[in-house]
Structure 1
Amino acid sequence: MLKKLFRSKSLESLQAQADEPKHQLKKNLSTFDLTMFGIGAIIGAGIFSSIGTAAAGNLADGRWPAGPALVISILLVAVGCGFTALAYAELASMIPVSGSAYTYAFATMGELMAWIIGWDLLLEYAVSNVAVAISWGDYARSFLANVMHIRIPGWLAMDPRSALALVPGTPPATVARKLEVLAQARAGHLDGASFFANWDVLRDAPLVHGFPFTMNLLAVVITVVITYLVYLGIKESARANAVMVVVKVAILLAVVAIGFRFVNPGNWHPFAPHGFKGIQAGAAIIFFAFIGFDAVSTTAEECRDPGRSLPRGILFSLGICTAIYALVALVVTGMLKYTQLAGKADPLAYIFTHNNMNAVAGVISFGAVIATTAALLVYQVGQPRIFMAMSRDGLLGPWFGKVSASHRTPANATFLTGLLVAVPAALLNIDEVVELTNIGTLFAFSVVCGAVMILRLRRPEAPRRFRMPWIFVLAPAGILACIWIARGLPAVTWIRFVVWLAIGLVIYFAYGQRNSVLQTGTEEP
C-alpha cells in the first residue's frame, strides 16, 4: 500500500503526456509575457492594502508592528521567496508541464504528496483569488463613489458576516439573537445603530425569511468577466495583463516619486519599534503581497521556449516587484507615522488624502482596481491548469481536463474555478481567507525546495536549461525561510490548514487513489 502511495512519474512520461494532441495548449508566450504575468500576479491587493497593517500591526490580535522596519520585512521575504524562485526556475526548465508544484511533487515525492500539494494549491490560487475578488469589490466601490459619483447600495457590497457584525464592546450574540434584534430594529422598536456596526447596510437589505440578503456583487461581476477572458485564450489574457501591469507599475512609481517630496525622516524613528518580532510579524503579513511569481510556472505548456523563458519570467518579476515594494514602504512610513496607518484598508490612498492630495488618492484607488484585476486574471489562469494536470493523472475525473477545441484552453476547469471564486467572494469576509492562503503557499514553497534537491540527486543527468546555484545551501535556506514566515501566523490558521488537508485526504482515498492512472494501469509507473 505504501509503495503505491509514493509512486512517482518520470520526467519523460510527464512530458509525453503533455505532448498528446488532445492535451496540447497553444504555445504563444514569450519571456516578456511571463514576466508581465509574474508582475501581474505579485502586485495585487497586497501592496495596496496590507502594507498599512504590516507597518502598524494590531496588538489586540497579537500582531506586533514592524514600523518603518517594514522595508526590512519586505527584503527578508524577498530573499526567502528568492530561494524558492530559484528552485522553481530549475524545475520549470526541466519539466515544462502545467501543474507547477503539483507536477514537481509527482516527479519526486510520489502520488500522495502530489495530491496533497495539488489540494494545497487550491489555497494559493482559487482561495486567494477569493480574497483578491473581495478586495477588488471594495476598491471598485470606493472608486465609483469617490471619483465617478456612482453609489452601489451597501447590501450589494458586503458579505453577510460583516453585515451582521456588532458594535465594538457589544456582548457576543448568536445568529438567532442578531436576527431577533434586527427584526425589532427594522420595526422601529430598537435603535439598530447601537447594536449593529453596519446598521446602514442592514436597514436597507432585503429580508429572506428574516435573514438579511447581502452580497459582494462587484466581486462576482469581475470574477465572471475575468473567467470568460481566460477561457477565450492565453494570448488574449496575456495582452490584457500586460496593459494592466504597465498602468499599475506606473502608478506605484508615481506614488514613490511624488511621495518622496513629503517624506519626514523623523517618521522613521524609531526604525524598528518592536525589534525583530515586529519585523517577523510584518513579514508574515506582507508575504501575501509576494504570492504569485510561482503562477508563471503553470503556463509552461503555453511557452514558445519554456527552458529559457520560464526561469527568466519567474526571477525578473520577483526582482522588479521587490524593488517597487521597498520604495513604496519607505515612502509610506516616511510620509506618515506608522501608528497612524492602523486600521486603514487603503493606506496608500489615505496618506495622500491626509496630505490634501485627493486627486492623487483617486488615481491610487484606480491603480488598486487595476492591480487587483491583473492579479485576479493570473490566478484564474493558474488554477485551471493545475486541475487539468491532476485530471491527466486520474486524481480528478476526465471532465476537469477537457480542453476547448476552438480556444485550446482547459474549458471546464476554467469555468469551475470561476464558480469556486465567485460564490465565496460574494459571501465571505476577506479576513477568513488571507492567512489560510499564506500558510498554503508556504507549504507549497517548502515542497518545491525539497523537490529540486531530490531531482538533483536522483536525475543529475537530466537536461537543465537553468541550474539553481549552491542548491544544497539555498534550497534548505528556502525551507527555513518558509518556516520562519509561517511562525508569524496565528495558531488558528494552522488549525484551519490541518483541517483543509484532512478534507483533501478523504477525497484522495475516496476517489483519487482508486482512479489514478498509475493504479488503473493506463500508464506505466
Structure 2
Amino acid sequence: MPNYGQYSLPPNKHGLLSISTPQLLLHQHPPRPLSNPAQAPEAAACHVDSGAGAKRVRERSGASMKRKLEWYDLVALGVGGMLGAGVFVTTGDVARDISGPAVFVSYFVAGVSALLSSLCYTEFSVHIPVAGGAFSYLRVTFGEFVGYFGGANLVMEYVLSNAAVARSFTEYLAGAFGSNKPNSWRIEVDGLAKGYNALDLPAVFLILLLTLCLCHSTKESSLLNLVMTVFHLLFFGFIIVAGFWNGSPKNLKEPHGLAPFGVRGVLDGAAIVYFSYIGYDSVSTMAEEIRNPTKSLPIGIAGSVLIVSVLYSLMALALCSMIPYNEISENAPFSSAFEKKVGWKWASNVVGAGASMGIVASLLVAMLGQARYLCVIARARLMPSCLAKVHPSTGTPTNATIFLGLCTAAVALFTDLEIVLEMISIGTLLVFYLVANALIYHRYVNLGANRPLPVLLFLLLLTSTSLGFSLTWKLNGKQWWVLALFGGTSILITILFHCAVPCYRHPSSEWSVPLMPWPAAASVFLNVFLITSLKKKSFLRFGLWSAVIILFYVLYGVHSTYYAEEVEMGNEIGGGIPTTTSQEQPKIDV
C-alpha cells in the first residue's frame, strides 16, 4: 500500500483512499493562494485551483459562450431590465396612500439601497467574471450549498416574476387599443379554480417568441433590447417633460404638505418602490459574453442603476407636480393625470403602448439572466447536466433557455397576476443580503492566514441589530428610542469592526467597492429592512420552496457533484475510476 503522508487509510474499491478523491488531490496538490484576482474565476469554477479544472468545468457545456457584448450593451440590458411597467402602477398607490408628494424621495432612497447592492455585485463580477452571477459569488465564498440555495431561489423568482410581467403585458397592450377590462384579451374557463381560470394566450406567445430569440443569438437579442430601451427612454422623457410643463410647484405642497405621512411614510414607500429596481443582477450573468468584463461590468451595473434612479425620481416628481397627491389614480396614475390636467384622453393609449414596450424589454433581459443562472448551476452538477449545454454555433445556453421558457409560459397561462405577485421578491432580497455578506467575508478573511470568527461574529451582530430595528419599525414605529438603540448599535459595531479587523484583500488593479465595510454593511441593513416589509404569504412561499430545493439538493445534488468529482479527478490522477478493460476507460458525459 502506498504511503500518503499523514493519511494511512485503506484504499476504497477503486484503489483510492476512502477520504474521497477530491481530498486526495488537495493533499497531493495543495491549493495555492490567489496571487492575482484574475485567478478567481478558476476558483469559482472548480474547487481545485488549476486551469485544467476550470477548463474541465466549462467543457461540461459542450461549447463556450461568445464574447460579443460591449459596455453600452450592458447599460441597455440593465436599464431595460429595470424599466418595466411597475413604475406606472406602483407610483400612484404609494403617492396616494403611503408617501404623498414625497414619493420621489422614496424612489431616491430605494435607488440608494439598490446602488449599494449593485456595488457589491460589481466587485464580485469584476473579480469572478463567470456567468453564474450570485450563484458563483456565493459558491466560491460560502460553499456549494449556500450558492445553490441562493441560485435556486433566484431561478424560481425569475420564473414567477417573468410570468407576472408577461401577464401584465396583456393588460397594457389591451389598454393601448382602448380596452379598460383587464381580462378582455384572456379566455375565461369555468371549470378551473378562481385565480387560475383566465388563460392568457398573448403572454404565452410573447414568452415563447422571446425564448426563440434568446436561443438564436445573445448579441442580436441585446441589439433588440437596445432599440426597445432607446424608444422606452424617449417615452419616459416625454412623460417627464410633459409632466413638468403642465405641472405646478403648489401641487407638491397642497393639501397637506410635501410629506403628509411623515418620515415613516417615505421609508415605507421606499420599501415598496424598491422592487421597481430589481433586474440589474441580470447584467452580472453576462460576464462570459463580454469582450472586456473588467471595464464594462462596473459601467453596466452601477451605471444602469444610476440612470433608472434618476428617471424614476423625475417621473414621480412630475406626476405629483401635475395633480394633488390625493387625486392621483391608483390604477392608471399617469394617463389619468394627463387626462384630468391637460385633457389628453389619448394619453392612456400612449402610456399603454410605452409600458408594453418596457415590459417586453424587461422580460427579455430577465429571461436572458435566468437561463445563465440555471446553466451554471447545472455545470456544477447541482441540476441535470443537459441544462448546462451551450449550443456550439449560437453560443447560447439553449436547453436552459427552452426549459425555463416553457416553465414561465405554463405559469403565465393559468396563474392570476395578484397570486404571482404575492409569491415573489423575498428570494431576490435574500440573495442581495447574502452577496453583501459574502463581499465582507471575501475582503476580510483568508483561510490559513487569519481566523474567520471575528468576521462571522460581526455579520451575525449586524444582521441581529438590523433585524431588531426593522421589526421595531414594522410592529411599533413610534418607539424612537428603540430604533435609535438598534441603529446606533449597528453603526457602533461597524466602527469597531473597521478599526479592529484588518482587511486582507485590497483590490487595486480592478474596480472595487470603496470605503469598505460601510457600503456592504449598509446594504445588509437595508436588505434586512426590506425583507421584513414583505407580506406573510411571501415567507410562506419561501419556506415551502426552500424545503423543496433542500430536498432536491440532498437527494440529487450531493450525490451528483460527488460522483462527478470522483470521475473527473480520478481520471486526472489516473486509476481513480474502474475501467471496462485494462486498456480503455469508459467515457462518461460530465
TM range (shorter): 0.7 to 0.9
> For the Cα contact (< 8 Å) 2:41–2:130, is it kept in 1?
no
The residue aligned with 1:347 is: 333
Q: C-alpha separation between the residues in 2 aligned to 1:106 and 1:209? A: 42
Greater alpha carbon shift after TM alignment, 489-498 vs 105-114: 489-498
> For the Cα contact (< 8 Å) 1:513–1:519, is it kept in 2?
no
Verify: 1:389 aligned to 2:418, yes or no: no
Verify: 1:53 aligned to 2:123, yes or no: no
The residue aligned with 1:33 is: 73
The residue aligned with 1:477 is: 522
> For the Cα contact (< 8 Å) 1:94–1:462, is it kept in 2?
no
The residue aligned with 1:157 is: 186
The residue aligned with 2:287 is: 300
Q: 1:437 is matched with which residue: 413, 424, 440? A: 424
1:101-250 correspondence runs (5 A): 101-145=134-178, 154=183, 156-157=185-186, 205=188, 207-208=190-191, 214-250=198-234
Verify: 1:512 aligned to 2:512, yes or no: no
The residue aligned with 1:322 is: 309
Letter of the 2:560 counterpart: N
Change (3 A) 1:145 1:389: same
The residue aligned with 1:257 is: 241
Q: C-alpha separation between the residues in 2 aligned to 1:250 and 1:56? A: 27
Verify: 1:402 aligned to 2:389, yes or no: yes
> For the Cα contact (< 8 Å) 2:41–2:129, is it kept in 1?
no
Greater alpha carbon shift after TM alignment, 500-509 vs 295-304: 500-509
Change (3 A) 1:242 1:210: closer
Q: C-alpha separation between the residues in 2 aligned to 1:278 and 1:152? A: 31
SS at match of 2:199: coil
The residue aligned with 2:451 is: none
SS at match of 1:521: helix
**C-alpha deviation, 1:405, in angstroms:** 2.3
Cα shift readout 1:476-522 (whole Å, capped 9, x = no counterpart): 10010111222222233222222222221111112112212587434
Cα shift readout 1:351-403 (whole Å, capped 9, x = no counterpart): 21223112333222211011000000000100010111011101001111111
* Corresponding pairs, count: 463
> For the Cα contact (< 8 Å) 1:267–1:336, is it kept in 2?
yes
Higher percent of residues as helix: 1
Q: C-alpha separation between the residues in 2 aligned to 1:447 and 1:246? A: 33
Greater alpha carbon shift after TM alignment, 477-486 vs 207-216: 207-216
The residue aligned with 1:100 is: 133
**C-alpha deviation, 1:297, in angstroms:** 0.3
Q: 1:12 is matched with which residue: 42, 55, 63? A: 42
Q: C-alpha separation between the residues in 2 aligned to 1:522 and 1:454? A: 32
SS at match of 1:246: helix
**C-alpha deviation, 1:338, in angstroms:** 2.2
The residue aligned with 2:545 is: 500
Change (3 A) 1:152 1:276: closer
**C-alpha deviation, 1:336, in angstroms:** 2.0
The residue aligned with 2:496 is: none
**C-alpha deviation, 1:347, in angstroms:** 2.0
Change (3 A) 1:77 1:154: closer
Q: 1:335 is matched with which residue: 300, 305, 322? A: 322
Cα shift readout 1:431-478 (whole Å, capped 9, x = no counterpart): 223353222211111111111122223462778521100121110100
Letter of the 1:429 counterpart: D
Q: C-alpha separation between the residues in 1 aligned to 2:149 and 2:359? A: 28
The residue aligned with 2:497 is: none
SS at match of 1:471: coil
Q: C-alpha separation between the residues in 1 aligned to 2:148 and 2:233? A: 36
Q: 2:406 is matched with which residue: 419, 422, 428? A: 419
The residue aligned with 1:466 is: 511
Change (3 A) 1:248 1:209: closer
The residue aligned with 1:373 is: 360
> For the Cα contact (< 8 Å) 2:175–2:349, is it kept in 1?
no
1:276-315 correspondence runs (5 A): 276-315=263-302
Change (3 A) 1:464 1:521: farther
Cα shift readout 1:287-320 (whole Å, capped 9, x = no counterpart): 1210111110011100001111111100110111
Letter of the 2:151 counterpart: G
Change (3 A) 1:253 1:453: same
Change (3 A) 1:238 1:69: same
> For the Cα contact (< 8 Å) 1:90–1:464, is it kept in 2?
no
> For the Cα contact (< 8 Å) 1:287–1:438, is it kept in 2?
no
**C-alpha deviation, 1:523, in angstroms:** 5.5
> For the Cα contact (< 8 Å) 1:121–1:440, is it kept in 2?
yes
Q: C-alpha separation between the residues in 2 aligned to 1:208 and 1:483? A: 42
SS at match of 1:437: coil
The residue aligned with 2:452 is: none
Q: C-alpha separation between the residues in 2 aligned to 1:90 and 1:339? A: 43
Q: C-alpha separation between the residues in 1 aligned to 2:245 and 2:171? A: 29
**C-alpha deviation, 1:213, in angstroms:** 5.3
> For the Cα contact (< 8 Å) 1:88–1:311, is it kept in 2?
no
Greater alpha carbon shift after TM alignment, 395-404 vs 358-367: 358-367
**C-alpha deviation, 1:83, in angstroms:** 1.1
Cα shift readout 1:155-196 (whole Å, capped 9, x = no counterpart): 6426xxxxxxxxxxxxxxxxxxxxxxxxxxxxxxxxxxxxxx
> For the Cα contact (< 8 Å) 1:220–1:426, is it kept in 2?
yes
**C-alpha deviation, 1:12, in angstroms:** 1.9
* TM-score (ref. length: structure 1): 0.82
Cα shift readout 1:234-272 (whole Å, capped 9, x = no counterpart): 011100000000011111111010111222333323222
Identity %: 30
> For the Cα contact (< 8 Å) 1:88–1:294, is it kept in 2?
yes
> For the Cα contact (< 8 Å) 2:178–2:349, is it kept in 1?
no
Letter of the 1:309 counterpart: S
Q: C-alpha separation between the residues in 2 aligned to 1:377 and 1:316? A: 19
Change (3 A) 1:523 1:330: farther
Structure 1: gaps of 5 or more residues: 58-64, 159-204
**C-alpha deviation, 1:207, in angstroms:** 4.7
Change (3 A) 1:56 1:499: farther
**C-alpha deviation, 1:67, in angstroms:** 1.2
The residue aligned with 1:267 is: 251
Select the structure of larger CA radius of gyration: 2
Change (3 A) 1:488 1:210: closer
* TM-score (ref. length: structure 2): 0.74
The residue aligned with 1:174 is: none
Change (3 A) 1:331 1:439: same
**C-alpha deviation, 1:406, in angstroms:** 2.4
